[in-house]
Structure 1
Amino acid sequence: MRTRDHEELAPLVNLADITAIELVVLKRMRELTLGDHRSRAQGSGFDFQGLREWQPGDKFSYIDWAQSSLNNFSPLVIREFEQPSTATIMPIADFSPSTRCGAGGVPIAAVIARAIAILGMSANFFQDPFGLVTFDRDFEHLAALRPRLGKSHVVHCVDAYQYERGLQHLRRSGSISTSLGGFVRRQAMLPIISDFLFDDVEDVIKELSLLGITHDVFMVMVDSAFAFDLPKVPAGWIEISDVETGRTRTVSRRQYAQLAERARTWQDTVRARAGDLDIDLVTLGLDQAKNDVALTEFVVERRLRKTHE
């Protein structure tokens, strides 16, 4: 297990990966959205948000031709609206230093970054606003990108997660649910993406469940046991270090060999606790193709769920 400054590493998810993800999402979405569906989030009317430059993926019907003519159509300008019947998707992703650790050249953060891309391309398919919130250990520091439409903003969110740039600092005010709820005020889909290997995880899950009163909250758990499947060592005692706290501890070879199993047991407990609080959870492993399909289908089912309440 190792970690380095993320600027020194190759991108966790590059533009070619995002394009491949987009093709998978488009294929699955078109297969799953055949027929008559009604959006889970409902509303009426539009709120004018402002003007911005046209970007690939924007509908031509959004172009403000009168305003664009003032610029000699370079660039084209579109009107942005917020429609209450759309479902803003705002992933809340773990950015703690431990996510930059991994094994076999695959950090935990790579799975998280790919999940952000999948969710973003799903939002782009539905022309839904997409944003991002990141958190570190104990949710002490929060940062975010406001939701916007378009594929280019999805790419921007993925890059922001990978390189921690362009993010707006969010002041922590009170509890986790209060801080997040203060930023995401309109109804939104809030996937919480992490391996959930942190202290007080039950308290965190309780706080997240409170957000479910207003928002559609679910958990995306990265099966990070692979990062603890470490090579065998001849030494009887091994010194290990916590990348987040800097604390070190000496463990026996037997304890060292049990780290992966302990991680699995911990995540099983998290999964059970989420079930107790009626929070849906989807698990992602190292199989990228399987992850892409599983998360896409999970999101489209929630996005198009018929309501008979």
Structure 2
Amino acid sequence: MHTLPSQPGVRVSLAELIDIRHRLREVQLFSTPSRRSPLIGLHRSKLRGRGIDFDQVRVYQPGDDVRTIDWRVTARTQEPHTKLFHEERERPVYLLVEQSRPLFFGSGVQLKSVLAAQAAALFGWAALTHNDRIGGLVFGDGEHHEVRPRRSKQSLLQLLNRLVGANHALHADMQAPQGTFGPALRRAREVLRPGSLLVVICDERALTDAAEQQLALLGRHIDLILLPISDPLDHALPAAGLLRFGEQQAVLELDTYDSDLRRAYRELGEARRLRWQHAAQRMRALLLPLSSQTDMFEQLREYLEQPAADSRR
């Protein structure tokens, strides 16, 4: 287990990620027998019956999906009846979590890398509590750390420990990674069977053409939850005068008083946001973008409070 010192908002510790399990009541991510998660209503499964089991038949009610009508019962009773389903138990839940240098940045309450680790821990504990099998892949700057899905607390702890190790290995002088998201998605395609749930937690800037193609292939057979991580400075530049950025021997200067420059920068950020939104709509994936500006639990509670028919997702 990693015991490296943590810096709140800059580094995560294993103890911090373990403690997140005590806050599961704040956000109901998965349905339970006594409570249905509002997030499930935001998620439209592409394949009828994928990831769910038959529960019972009841009288058809306005708003029910006509594709679930039980025609045999309807013919026998001369009254429309529809099938009800409940979520499949012990499905594999796979966390694909990025820990790379582009995430080692933040102007809000935490670095993006810390937010990604917290989100992975939250979904991991929620899945384990839901009796699902949990595993995942931590990917980033040259190294991948994989844990195969098992319904085991030790499996999740192993994944979180590797996540902490990758988080503590990040530093500002690292060389930027080249195309690590696509290979991580290809690995997920190799290990996940139909009906699995893939939770993708990555930098908002990671969605390239190749990565989007891999996501689309995954979305044909498994459920997807997408959590692109961003920072306020990814979307807008402040009018702060001349800003200088350096990377090894390269130096970039930007005059942020230039309104045309700030507008072009905002447009690039908006284009990334819209790309994720359009991709999620095509794949019928659940999109939960997170910002380092605000506490993760506050953001997820806002999603939970939105109507189930929110067309933005």
Shorter-chain TM-score tier:
0.5 to 0.7
Find out whether 1:116 has 2:117 as its counterpart.
no
Decide whether aligned partners of structure 1 residues 157 and 132 sit closer, same or farther in structure 2, where only a CA change above 3 A counts: same
- Residue number in structure 2 paired with 1:15: 15
- Distance in 2 (CA, whole Å) between partners of 1:272 and 1:27 is 26
Find out whether 1:181 has 2:189 as its counterpart.
yes
Decide whether aligned partners of structure 1 residues 25 and 237 sit closer, same or farther in structure 2, where only a CA change above 3 A counts: closer
Q: Is the 8 A contact 2:107 2:232 kept in 1?
A: no
- Residue number in structure 2 paired with 1:268: 273
**How far is 1:150 from its partner?**
3.4
**How far is 1:197 from its partner?**
1.0
Q: 1:201 aligns with which of 195, 205, 208?
A: 208
- Residue number in structure 1 paired with 2:32: 33
Q: What pairs up with 1:128-167 in 2 under 5 angstroms?
A: 128-136=132-140, 142-164=144-166
Instruction: Output one character per residue of 1:228-271: Cα deviation in whole Å (capped at 9) or x when no partner.
Output: 7777755x462433xxxx57342322289849735632432323
**How far is 1:113 from its partner?**
0.6
Instruction: Output one character per residue of 1:23-75: Cα deviation in whole Å (capped at 9) or x when no partner.
Output: 3324654995354879962579xxxxxxxxxxxxxxxxxxxxxxxxxxxxxxx
Q: Is the 8 A contact 2:12 2:164 kept in 1?
A: yes
- Distance in 2 (CA, whole Å) between partners of 1:124 and 1:280 is 20
- Distance in 2 (CA, whole Å) between partners of 1:13 and 1:297 is 30
Decide whether aligned partners of structure 1 residues 263 and 143 sit closer, same or farther in structure 2, where only a CA change above 3 A counts: farther
Q: Which amino acid aligns with 2:99?
A: F
- Distance in 2 (CA, whole Å) between partners of 1:254 and 1:153 is 47
- Residue number in structure 1 paired with 2:282: 277
Q: What pairs up with 1:266-305 in 2 under 5 angstroms?
A: 266-278=271-283, 279-285=285-291, 286-293=294-301
Q: Is the 8 A contact 2:92 2:197 kept in 1?
A: yes
Q: Is the 8 A contact 1:190 1:215 kept in 2?
A: yes
Q: How many residues align?
A: 239
Decide whether aligned partners of structure 1 residues 30 and 104 sit closer, same or farther in structure 2, where only a CA change above 3 A counts: closer
Decide whether aligned partners of structure 1 residues 237 and 106 sit closer, same or farther in structure 2, where only a CA change above 3 A counts: closer
- Distance in 2 (CA, whole Å) between partners of 1:161 and 1:124 is 17
Q: What pairs up with 1:21-60 in 2 under 5 angstroms?
A: 21-26=20-25, 28-29=27-28, 33-35=32-34, 41-42=51-52
SS at match of 2:204: coil
SS at match of 1:194: strand
Q: Is the 8 A contact 1:177 1:210 kept in 2?
A: no
Q: 1:88 aligns with which of 85, 88, 92?
A: 92
**How far is 1:155 from its partner?**
3.1
Decide whether aligned partners of structure 1 residues 239 and 123 sit closer, same or farther in structure 2, where only a CA change above 3 A counts: closer
**How far is 1:163 from its partner?**
0.7
Q: Is the 8 A contact 1:89 1:119 kept in 2?
A: no
Report the more deviating stretch, 140-149 or 35-44: 35-44
Q: Is the 8 A contact 2:135 2:150 kept in 1?
A: yes
Structure 1 residue ranges without an equivalent (≥5): 1-5, 45-83, 166-171, 302-309
**How far is 1:110 from its partner?**
0.8
Find out whether 1:252 has 2:254 as its counterpart.
yes
- Distance in 2 (CA, whole Å) between partners of 1:192 and 1:150 is 21
- Residue number in structure 2 paired with 1:98: 102
SS at match of 1:89: strand
SS at match of 1:113: helix
Q: Is the 8 A contact 2:277 2:287 kept in 1?
A: no
Structure 2 residue ranges without an equivalent (≥5): 41-48, 55-87, 168-179, 309-313
- TM-score (normalizing by structure 2): 0.60
The alignment's C-alpha RMSD in Å is 4.2
Q: Which amino acid aligns with 1:268?
A: R
Q: Is the 8 A contact 2:237 2:256 kept in 1?
A: no
Instruction: Output one character per residue of 1:132-175: Cα deviation in whole Å (capped at 9) or x when no partner.
Output: 112337xx75431112223343233222112139xxxxxx9x97
- Distance in 2 (CA, whole Å) between partners of 1:261 and 1:97 is 22
Q: Is the 8 A contact 1:239 1:249 kept in 2?
A: yes
Decide whether aligned partners of structure 1 residues 271 and 104 sit closer, same or farther in structure 2, where only a CA change above 3 A counts: closer
Q: Is the 8 A contact 2:116 2:229 kept in 1?
A: yes
Decide whether aligned partners of structure 1 residues 18 and 143 sit closer, same or farther in structure 2, where only a CA change above 3 A counts: closer
